[in-house]
Amino acid sequence: MLKKIIIAATGFMALPAMAAMETWNFSQNHSNGTLFNEYQLDAGGVTMSATAWSSSDFGNTVEDAKLVFWGDGLGVVNDQENVNDVPDHSTDNTGNDGFDMILLEFETAVNLSHLDLSWATDDGGTNNDGAADMSVGAFTGAGTMDFASVSASKTWQEIVNLGWDTSSYNNINTSGYQAINIASYSKYWLIGAYNTAFGALNHTSFNDGVKLEGVKGTFDDEIPPPTGQVPEPGSLALFAGGLLALVLRRRSQNAKS
């Protein structure tokens, strides 16, 4: 009896953690030019809040901006840009209008593995060129983050120096979800046009603009699953340990009787 229970408990503890891929898609039923201070989506029970941030000129400090829905994706307009102009209403780094980034804040840590663009340009023009250079970052510093307070009077480089896992990418295209290679799990992700603070590419031109249509990612394996899903290994181990202790106690009592 004891051997059978130990084997069963060991089998329970060997069960892997569940980590489902989820998609947060911004392609909703909004009119072109709709502005947002904050944009919220839910996927798999995890809420994501998006906000817009921009340095209004090259090298200047970061300020809050507006998210704008246009052409099935989200862009950013700062106080120097016109919501009706292209590429102004994309998330861009063109001209003297600074570096735009979208902050995605999740209620639990996620690893973003793919992103989807509805529009992209790499020549600063009005055409959908189908690809653009981009930068992505995941906050890996301690504790929670109030980005408005953290970013006050700071440049993008100073913000990155606070503890972000970052990378830049050549030619992210619009042909479906594209893979990114940041391994960190985080509640806070920055996504935008190519920004040297997030990692330099082999050029120094800034003519990129994108409209973010969606992101894919997985939850942190240590987050307890929703009711009805397989428990995490830690809780299974506690259950198995308690069951084993009960059996040993019963066996000891039987030996004394």
Domain count, the chain: 2
> Mean pLDDT throughout 163-183?
96
Asked if the model's pLDDT at residue 191 lies above 60, the reply is yes
Residue 7 shares a structural domain with residue 110: no
Q: What is the pLDDT of residue 126?
A: 65
Kindly report, residue by residue over 112-139, the tens digit of the pLDDT: 999 999 999 988 766 667 999 999 999 9
Q: What is the pLDDT of residue 80?
A: 81
What does pTM read for this prediction? 0.79
Residue 89 shares a structural domain with residue 183: yes
Kindly report, residue by residue over 1-28, the tens digit of the pLDDT: 444 433 333 444 444 455 678 999 999 8
**CA atoms 124, 209, 85, 53: torsion sign:** negative
What are the E-state strand segments in the chain?
21-25, 34-36, 39-43, 46-55, 62-64, 66-70, 73-77, 91-92, 100-121, 131-139, 164-173, 178-179, 186-193, 209-219
Domain that holds residue 101: 19-219
Residue 211 shares a structural domain with residue 236: no
Q: Is 224 a domain residue? A: no
Residue 207 shares a structural domain with residue 97: yes
Asked if the model's pLDDT at residue 222 lies above 90, the reply is no
Q: Is 143 a domain residue? A: yes
Residue 206 shares a structural domain with residue 243: no
